[in-house]
Structure 1
Amino acid sequence: MKYKQIGTDGCQVSAVALGCMGMSDLYGVPDDKESIATIHAALDAGMNFLDTADMYGPHTNERLIGEAIADRRDEAFIATKFGIVRDPDDPQKRGICGRPEYVKASCDASLERLGIDTIDLYYQHRIDANVPIEETVGAMKDLVTAGKVRYLGLSEASVATIKRAQAVHPIAAVQTEYSIWSRDAEDAGVIDYCREQNVLFVSYSPLGRGFLTGSVTSFEDLPADDYRRHSPRFQGENFQKNLEVLAKLREIAAKRGMTPAQFALAWIMTKQDHIVPLFGTKKVKYLQENLQSLNFVLTDEEMQQIEEVAPENAFSGKRYTSELMKLTNA
């Protein structure tokens, strides 16, 4: 396993992180036994960076991770998030809350579900436009002072917001969607800013919500309760156009002897050294396949070939619905 530094005190996290959301929510029927086996396999491989959030389930994913690491706490670096409030009557609806009292109550609840004393990395999941970021991060700072949190992070935040947050307390990590098919963070300047500030950039959905693995070849491949059915990129003409781009990428990957998933992860890790791809899986076999991406570095020629067949904006459709897109880069 390779590692990268987070923060300024020498703490090391694995160069790839395991996203645990799909183990409990949004991607078909959960299988807790296989999911726990996957978490254990990750830890066995030295992959210590585990990512969850209170809204996954909601709440059930944190409990699952807590069960999985109960006797292996010292091997795991736990990241969780607050700020997205699920509508119990309509799972597709989301609310955002960054009020200080909510931050602190959410942290206490996450600690209890995870069964730990300290959260290693605590993210604001989405920025609350109705609460000044200084107030939200001020409450997060109090959690650090109280020993409940080690490092602070933001998710889907603009450079301007990150700067304001940093004036209150150091931000150790910024999490934003980033992959061959989602490159908004490049235009927004977030990736470059994080590099300049020695802030770890965590790219979630590096496999394009499974699309870049080649496992989804038609809309019908998605389970009835799979949230990707609501994603513009998986629908109609967008989906067909995206499959055409993917076919060209798979040709390049095959020439190198890589699976599409390994190829997509290697692209991110070749891009810049301060980026940690956060891939999700609930199966041991896919975890092991994805970890092999650490053995590959793409050549300049391969990176140029990718740019030619899949330049920025090559894929069709927004990465979220219009309503959810409003919550990104805030």
Structure 2
Amino acid sequence: MWSTEPLTNGTNDVCKKLGIPIIGYSPLGRGFLTGAIKSKADIKEGNILNHFDRFKDDETIKANYHVVELVNEYAKMKNASNAQIALAWIRKHNDYPDKYAKFIPIPSSSNPKRNHENNTAVELSDAEFDDINEKLSKLKIVGYRYSKDAENFLNV
């Protein structure tokens, strides 16, 4: 939900045309969309996130937290977890095969409780999906997914 470039940079269109699914790697934003990371202090020393632009400092984390707040809003409304809402949003794209390629989110966790949560589907209505998309389109995301240099390899 905070890396929507495949929807606008031509990736979706080409994958849809060729029947290639889009794999949602780290669909929970490396835990960010769950609300687990509110500040730099929430990232342990040695964690790879310390090398990614979107986690570089408290200012950047705070600047992007509006995405988490949107997910929180829907999680409360649907009596679901943030993870379930983020995953539901990705899966909802599959309800529109004329507009989107097939999307397959691949959340991961070594925690059995989180795996169960991630695999307990929550459904979004068409109106909820449209509302989330409209709100996401108005949010500015600060920082590269990885770093400026690594970003060049993401869209090859």
TM over 0.5: yes
Residue identity matched to 2:43 = L
1:207 maps to which of 28, 47, 51: 28
Instruction: Give the AA of the match of 2:116.
Output: Q
Runs of 4 or more consecutive aligned structure 1 residues displaced over 6 Å after TM superposition: none
Question: Shift of residue 206 of structure 1?
Answer: 0.7
Could you tell me how far apart the structure 2 residues matched to 1:323 and 1:245 are? 24
Taking the aligned partners of 1:303 and 1:287, their CA distance within structure 2 comes to 24
Q: Residues 2-21 of structure 1: matches in 2 within 5 Å? A: none
What amino acid does structure 2 have at the position aligned with 1:218?
S
Aligned counterparts, 1:1-330, within 5 A? 180-234=1-55, 235-272=57-94, 274-293=102-121, 296-311=122-137, 314-330=140-156
SS, match of residue 203 in structure 1: strand
Letter in 1 for 2:109: T
1:313, distance to aligned residue in structure 2 (A)? 5.5
Percent of aligned positions with the same letter in both sequences? 32
Q: What are the superposed Cα offsets for residues 283-306 of structure 1, whole Å, 9 maximum, x if unpaired?
A: 11110000002xx22112211221
Provide the aligned C-alpha RMSD in A: 1.6
Q: In proportion to residue count, which structure has more strand?
A: 1
CA–CA separation in structure 2 for the residues paired with 1:227 and 1:324: 14
Q: By how many angstroms is 1:245 displaced?
A: 3.2
| Structure 1: gaps (5+ residues) | 1-179
SS in 2 for 1:186: helix
Output one character per residue of 1:271-324: Cα deviation in whole Å (capped at 9) or x when no partner.
12511101121111110000002xx22112211221243226532211111111
Contact 1:268–1:277 (Cα < 8 Å) also in 2: yes
Distance 2:77 2:150 in 1: 37
Q: CA deviation at 1:224?
A: 0.4
Secondary structure of 1:277's match?
strand
Give the Cα–Cα distance (whole angstroms) in 2 for the partners of residues 245 and 201 of structure 1. 21
The letter of the residue matching 1:215 is A
- Counterpart CA distance in 2 for 1:287 and 1:261 is 10
1:185–1:191 contact (8 Å) kept in structure 2: yes
Match of 1:105 in 2: none
TM normalised by structure 1 equals 0.43
Equivalent residue number for residue 173 of structure 1? none
Deviation at 1:239, TM superposition (A): 0.8
Deviations 1:106-165 (A, max 9, x none): xxxxxxxxxxxxxxxxxxxxxxxxxxxxxxxxxxxxxxxxxxxxxxxxxxxxxxxxxxxx
User: TM-score of the superposition, structure 2-length normalised?
Assistant: 0.87
- Whole-angstrom CA distance in 1 between matches of 2:105 and 2:85: 12
Deviation of 1:193 after TM superposition, in Å, equals 1.7
Rounded to whole Å, the distance in 2 between the matches of 1:264 and 1:291 is: 12
> 1 or 2, which has the higher helix percentage?
2
Q: Which deviations, in whole Å up to 9, do the C-alpha atoms of 1:177-197 show, x marking residues without a partner?
A: xxx100111122112221221
Structure 1 residue 249: deviation in Å? 2.4
Q: Radius of gyration: which is bigger?
A: 1
CA distance in 2, matches of 1:192, 1:287: 31
Higher relative contact order (Cα pairs below 8 Å, separated by 6+ residues): 2
Given that 2:39 and 2:58 are in contact with CA atoms closer than 8 Å, whether structure 1 keeps it comes out as no
Structure 2 portions without partners, runs of 5+: 96-101
Residue 28 of structure 2 contacts residue 107 of structure 2 at CA under 8 Å; is this kept in 1?
yes
